[in-house]
Amino acid sequence: MEKFPRTAVQEVLAVWAASFLAILASFALVPGYAKLVATITFLYFPLFFMDRRGEDYADYGVTLSRWRQDLKLFAGFAAVVFPLFVLLFIGFFQALPLLPPSARALLTPVQGPLAFSLRLPDRFPEWVIDQLFVVALPEEFFYRGFVQTRLRDAWPRGKVLFGARLGPAFWLTAVLFAAGHLAVFQVWRLGVFFPALLFGWMRERGGTVVSATLFHASANLLEKVLEASLLDVG
């Protein structure tokens, strides 16, 4: 634990705010480059402080040193969570027409009746690369790697849940992750708070961000496949 834990919190909030404002500005001024701006900010903004301490990405969980354990953790979570996600996805869109149009717009940008026809989204191989290296890895390094680790330096205590110590750092990281998605102000984006809890637990349990990155990317890809197969989107 640092001698002055407040410094770690201030560092995290400064980097998060700078990243959020950069992404917000990019959506307002150059929306076509907003994803690129987000990727750059997530990967490089923390380096300002990391370089001063002589740290690198491995110090924040970007390492394959535990790849066997990471793969097992990912596979175990995927086997349990993904079937439940499919059932919830189907149930959600079956119930959606029962809600008023205004409520439906708040909950999801995707609309349409369910009609199953298994297919992959257009340019699916590109989606795999995009979700893994442009979306999931930068976000997991930034939030579960840098943010959660630095907040844990300030608040190392927490209750152990299934082998992972979960304290204020865990919860605040999930809150910042959800709030960061409001750079494009759509209320339904706050729902990412819940998968953030899974990502954060995997980071604490496995010691790297690899399993969370794989799960994050796979969950996004599964959602795309479900939208293509059940809603004819993509």
At 2 the pLDDT is 45
Pairing of strands 159-161, 164-166: antiparallel
Which token pair is 52? 């001063």
At 5 the pLDDT is 63
pLDDT cut 90: percent of the chain above it: 76
Q: Would you give per-residue pLDDT tens digits along the chain (234 residues)? A: 444 467 999 999 999 999 999 999 999 999 999 999 999 999 999 999 999 999 999 999 999 999 999 999 999 999 999 999 999 999 988 888 887 877 777 777 776 677 888 889 889 999 999 999 999 999 999 999 999 999 999 999 999 999 999 999 999 999 999 999 998 877 778 889 999 999 999 999 999 999 999 999 999 999 999 999 988 876
- pLDDT tens digit string along 109-149? 776 677 888 889 889 999 999 999 999 999 999 999 999 99
Q: What are phi and psi of 164, to 5 degrees?
A: -120, 130
- pLDDT tens digit string along 160-175? 999 999 999 999 999 9
Q: In the 3-class helix/strand/coil scheme, how is 31-74 assigned residue by residue?
A: HHHHHHHHHHHHHHCCHHHHHHCCCCHHHHCCCCCCHHHHHHHH
